[in-house]
Amino acid sequence: MSSLGLSLLLLVALAVGVALAYNLRQAWPRWRYPQAVRWLKMRRERPGAGAQAGSVAPQSRRTPSAAGRSAPDDTGAARGEPRLGATPVVDDGGPAPGSPEALQASRTAARPTIRSTHGAIAPATKAAAPEDAGAPESAATAPFAQPAASPSPGASAAPTTVAAAAPAGIAQPRLSEICDCIVEISPAEPFGGERLTAIAQRFRRAGGKPIIVEGQAADAAPGDWSVPDAARQYAALRVGILLANRHGPLNAMEFSEFATGLQAIAESLAALADTPDMSTVLARARDLDATCAQLDAQISLNVDAPEAVSPAQLAALAGVLSIAERGSNRYARLGPQGELVFSVALSDLPNRFTFLLDVPRSSPQLQPWTQMLATARACAQQVGGELVDDGGRVLAEAALAQIGRQLVQRYESLEAIGLPAGSALALRVFN
């Protein structure tokens, strides 16, 4: 027999021996203490044998105990889902669930859905996809006339007195200390604008954060920064990375990529780049992200038609509602400079149109809430439908008016932190 055969035979014998030893070890207690094994088996089979004084029998997760069903919450109040400006819901002995009074109360308590979107981009409807910040609109998306619908009582409270920056849907984004980490580089000799343009085209992003490059022309005053122009000579440049957007705050990996790119630019220009301390920059980014998360919101209205609607029907309504097609069966109302006012799309439900207002990205000067509400009412009139919330409940005038008042406060808060709704900076941060 060969050595290979002997090795295989030894391995088989070893495996059999290990299995035999394991079985003997498992059987040893039964052979040595047969009475104890039988007593343990009888104790397990005896009803209630495992219950001790003061012990609690385990409860099934599907069938809670009667005490658990009848005992009130420790807080003494029922819990409700948080919503902007809503009053906590408490059990005050109102109508029983399912009664006609309860159904009527649920219909009158309906309100437009307000979604917080900062930190995670998860559009709730097909219309929720945000438009690109600062992207110019094509000639096909020129402004349209508004529908001839009179403002409703709910729309009368829409923000009309809030001062904001001029519509900047197509304005060139500029760097700002409010939302950017900015580093200046000053070479010893002036350099050509084509070189600065090439730098700006190559160095555009670090991770999920956009980067902007600006130059100070050789014949310009100190601090006069502008967009790179290939025909000019420049004495200095500055590079900035966005501290936060809807993807979250600037992180360490993105900052490291930004710092590496800065050093490469400085070396190419025979200059030095004074990169700031990473911990300080990341702390600023987290603070900005936390502030913007409290002010970021999207408001949706729905129109439920009696029957299923198709993309062709929405396209036919576009002219009546004065909305422009944006591709993929999405439509939008546009401002005088092509900026987004609100968007319209078909919902996941077959008979529903969804209107979406991205609050920080729409200038209050355009009265986006008033326009969206009037357009939604016109749509409901055209299709014979109803204005409802995401749960299919008819929206009450009081809820619509309350949203209008809350929007005034939201716009004022955005302007107070230096990010007026619809401005170029707001379009960069809330993107």
User: Per-residue DSSP letters for 86-99?
Assistant: PPPP---S-PPTTS
Owning domain of residue 253:
178-291
Last residue of a domain, one of 258, 291, 324: 291
- pLDDT of residue 409 exceeding 60, the answer is yes
Residue 355, by phi and psi: left (phi above 0), alpha (psi -120 to 50) or beta? beta
Q: Return the DSSP state at 390.
A: T
The string of pLDDT tens digits covering residues 286-328 is 999 999 999 999 999 999 999 999 999 999 999 999 999 998 8
**Do 302 and 418 belong to one domain?**
yes
Domain CATH for 333: 3.30.1400.10
Beta strand residue intervals within 42-123, DSSP E:
113-115
Does residue 151 lie within any of the structural domains? no
Cα–Cα distance list, 73 to 64, 78, 222, 240 (Å): 14, 7, 65, 51
Residue environment code for 342-351, b if the CB has 16+ CB neighbours within 10 A, otherwise e? bbbbbbebeb
Alpha-carbon gap, residue 207 to 205, rounded angstroms? 6
Look at the chain and report how many structural domains it folds into.
Answer: 2
3-state secondary structure 282-345: HHHHHHHHHHHHHHCCEEEEEEECCCCCCHHHHHHHHHHHCCEEEECCEEEEECCCCCEEEEEE
Model confidence at 6, pLDDT cuts 50, 70, 90, reads: confident
Does residue 218 lie within any of the structural domains? yes
Residue 112 contacts residue 299 (beta carbons within 8 Å): yes
Alpha-carbon gap, residue 300 to 373, rounded angstroms? 10
Last residue of a domain, one of 243, 274, 291: 291
Q: Which two tokens stand for residue 122?
A: 């998860």
Does residue 123 lie within any of the structural domains? no
Cα–Cα distance list, 45 to 29, 35, 36, 40, 56 (Å): 20, 16, 14, 9, 19
Amino acid at 404: G
Task: Quickly tell me which residue has 């601090």 as its tokens.
Answer: 223
Does residue 119 lie within any of the structural domains? no
**Do 190 and 315 belong to one domain?**
no
The string of pLDDT tens digits covering residues 327-355 is 889 999 999 999 999 999 999 999 999 99
Most confident of 82-91, 115-124, 275-284: 275-284
Last residue of a domain, one of 291, 318, 348: 291
Tell which wins on pLDDT, 26 or 119.
26
